[in-house]
Every structure is written in structure tokens, then in C-alpha cells.
């Protein structure tokens, strides 16, 4: 476990799922964490309560709206005098295939999954201290082809390129930029087809060499390592956290 005492962290989409596990883990390592969420205030409050109010606070900003970045940083600046760790985790998925994707759906998913992390990172740069960390949560889908989620996969592909490119620009400041790519993780986004469906769970587990569905903590522990001093020489990397999966 790394020592993040005295560090500050912003985790987007930290009210639930992987983001919550990341926020909890970074706080357990000593960081003070901004628990960002989009609308589920009860879930955000639960995350803050689980961490403890001395180490966490909630900040609401719907990333599909134009004023999201202003709203987010107005609150952040009240609490933090600088930022050490930025985790761009919040994202939405779509269930439409290529033929059925509307321009509205396309625009919404690119706004939340690509435009928001781009401009959150841009705004964060003046607050990020030298030696800081940026971690972008992508997905194993960018290294395979899943036509049924083509638009979602494209947003994660854009994020991969963003990470790799930004790492070159921020290297001179000692800021690392890495991508963490999970496989199938048991979160709300997969609840409708995974939970309470043993056949679907077995099929999902069989896709991973390690033979089970991933848990949010499996991803959070890797993000915590990347955020730690021990990972100072890792940047521009794409880290596969799929349990050896074909996804
Ligand atoms: P969840 O659906 O469980 O949680 C999504 C989080 O993002 C919530 O905190 C939610 O806030 C927030 N969010 C969603 N939409 C918005 C919005 N418009 N504005 C602000 N916040 C928003 O997601 P997961 O934990 O499953 O996924 C986390 C990350 O991991 C995502 O980037 C996802 O693409 C990636 N990933 C997930 C995989 C999986 O199998 N679960 C696999 C590969 C990658 P609120 O609670 O307020 O709605």
C-alpha cells in the first residue's frame, strides 16, 4: 500500500462502481478525495460516509452539460489548494449497435466519455502539482472488435490516444499519464444481464484467464499503484486489468 498522505485526488464518477472503489482505496492510502458524481446524491453520500468526512467530500457535476467543468472546479477550489491525482473514470455506455445509433446518442456519449475528461484535464493542469498523476479509465474493448458497442468503444479509443499523447506533453513536469483498461467488472452498468443470472456470470467468468468476473477493487488497486511514488517511471502506458480476458 502506497503512502498518499497529504495528496489530493479527484475521482470522477466516484459515487458508484469502479470510481467508488478507487476513491476508497486512494483515501485508505492517505489521500483526501473529491468524490465526483452526476446525479445520484445518495450514492455519493454513501461513498463519502464509507471514507469519512475528514478524507472526502462530494461534488456534483453532470458531465453531459456545458457548465460541468466550471461547476466541478468551483467546488474543488473551495476544498483543495492544488491537485496531485486526477482519475478520469466517469463514463456512460450505450446499448445501440451501428445501425441504430442516433446522432443524439453519439453526441451524448462522446460528450461524457471524451469531451468531459479532455476539458477536466485541461482545467486541472494549472492545479496539478509537478509529479502528479493522471489516470484515465478506458476499457479492454479498444483492443478487440465488439460491433454491438461500437460507439462506446470509439470513445475509449479516443481516451487511449489522449492519454498517450498527453503523457509526452506533461513528462517534463514529472506528471505521469496512464490508461487503465478493465474487462468485465461487476458494477451497476452490467447489473441487468449479469446479476442473478448464473449462466451469464459463468460465461463472463470464462472469458478471463483467471476464471471470474472482475471486482471494482481489482481495478482500484492498480490505480492506487499508478498513483503511488513507486510508479514514478511508468507513463504513457496502457495497463490491461482484464484478468487475462479476451475483452
Ligand atoms: P457505473 O455505471 O457503475 O458508475 C458510473 C459513474 O459515473 C457513477 O459515479 C455516475 O454518477 C458517473 N456518471 C455517469 N454519467 C455521468 C454524467 N453524465 N455526469 C457525471 N457523472 C456521471 O460505472 P462503472 O463503475 O462500471 O465504470 C467506471 C469506468 O470503468 C467507466 O469509465 C467505464 O467505461 C469503465 N469500464 C467499466 C467496465 C465494467 O465492466 N464495469 C469495463 C471496462 C471499463 P451517478 O452515480 O451520479 O450516476
Query: What are the mean pLDDT values of the chain's consecutive 10-residue runs (247 residues total)?
Result: 94 99 98 98 98 98 98 98 99 92 97 98 98 98 94 98 98 98 97 96 97 98 98 98 92
Q: Do 118 and 162 form a contact (C-beta atoms < 8 A)? A: yes
For residue 89, give every residue at least 6 positions away whose Cβ sits within 8 Å of its Cβ, in sequence order, or none: 11, 12, 13, 14, 18, 19, 22, 137
Cα–Cα distance measured from residue 39 to residue 161, given in angstroms and rounded to the nearest whole number: 28
Query: Considering the entire predicted model, what is its pTM?
Result: 0.99
Q: For the chain, give every domain's residue range.
A: 8-187+215-241
Active site residues: 152
For residue 148, give every residue at least 6 positions away whose Cβ sits within 8 Å of its Cβ, in sequence order, or none: 95, 97
Cα–Cα distance measured from residue 14 to residue 177, given in angstroms and rounded to the nearest whole number: 19
Cα–Cα distance measured from residue 175 to residue 85, given in angstroms and rounded to the nearest whole number: 9
Ligand 1 centroid – CA 153 distance (Å): 14
What residue owns the CA closest to ligand 1's atom 46?
40
Ligand 1 centroid – CA 40 distance (Å): 12
User: Which among 116, 117, 126, 129 is positioned nearest to 31, based on CA atoms?
Assistant: 129
Ramachandran sector of residue 46 (left: φ over 0; alpha: ψ -120 to 50; beta: rest):
alpha
Cα–Cα distance measured from residue 174 to residue 240, given in angstroms and rounded to the nearest whole number: 23
Cα–Cα distance measured from residue 42 to residue 46, given in angstroms and rounded to the nearest whole number: 6
With a Cβ cut-off of 6 Å, ligand 1 is lined by 13-19, 37-40, 43, 62-64, 89-92, 112, 137, 139, 182, 184-185, 187-190
What is the complex's ipTM, to 2 decimals? 0.99
Query: What fold is seen in the domain 8-187+215-241?
Result: Rossmann fold (3.40.50)
Amino acid at each position: 500500500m502506497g503512502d498518499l498522505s497529504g495528496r489530493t485526488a479527484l475521482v470522477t464518477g466516484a459515487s458508484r462502481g469502479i470510481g467508488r472503489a478507487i476513491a476508497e482505496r486512494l483515501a485508505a492510502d492517505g489521500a483526501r478525495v473529491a468524490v465526483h458524481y452526476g446525479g445520484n446524491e445518495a450514492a455519493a453520500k454513501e461513498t463519502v460516509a464509507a471514507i469519512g468526512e475528514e478524507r472526502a467530500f462530494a461534488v456534483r457535476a453532470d458531465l453531459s452539460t456545458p457548465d460541468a467543468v466550471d461547476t466541478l472546479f468551483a467546488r474543488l477550489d473551495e476544498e483543495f489548494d492544488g491537485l496531485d491525482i486526477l482519475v478520469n473514470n466517469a463514463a456512460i455506455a450505450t446499448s445501440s449497435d451501428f445501425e441504430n445509433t442516433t446522432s443524439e446518442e453519439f453526441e451524448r456519449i462522446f460528450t461524457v466519455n471524451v469531451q468531459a475528461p479532455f476539458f477536466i484535464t485541461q482545467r486541472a493542469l494549472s492545479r496539478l502539482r509537478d509529479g502528479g498523476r493522471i489516470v484515465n479509465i478506458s476499457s479492454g474493448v479498444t483492443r478487440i472488435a465488439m460491433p454491438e458497442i461500437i460507439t462506446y468503444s470509439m470513445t475509449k479509443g479516443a481516451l487511449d490516444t489522449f492519454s498517450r499523447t498527453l503523457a509526452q506533453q506533461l513528462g517534463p513536469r514529472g506528471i505521469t499519464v496512464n490508461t487503465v483498461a478493465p474487462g468485465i467488472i461487476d458494477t451497476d452498468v452490467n447489473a441487468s444481464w449479469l446479476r442473478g443470472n448464473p449462466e451469464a456470470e459463468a460465461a463472463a467468468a470464462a472469458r478471463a484467464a483467471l476464471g471470474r468476473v472482475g471486482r471494482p477493487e481489482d481495478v482500484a488497486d492498480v490505480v492506487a499503484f499508478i498513483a503511488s511514488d513507486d510508479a514514478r517511471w511508468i507513463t504513457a502506458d496502457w495497463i490491461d486489468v482484464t484478468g487475462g480476458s479476451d475483452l
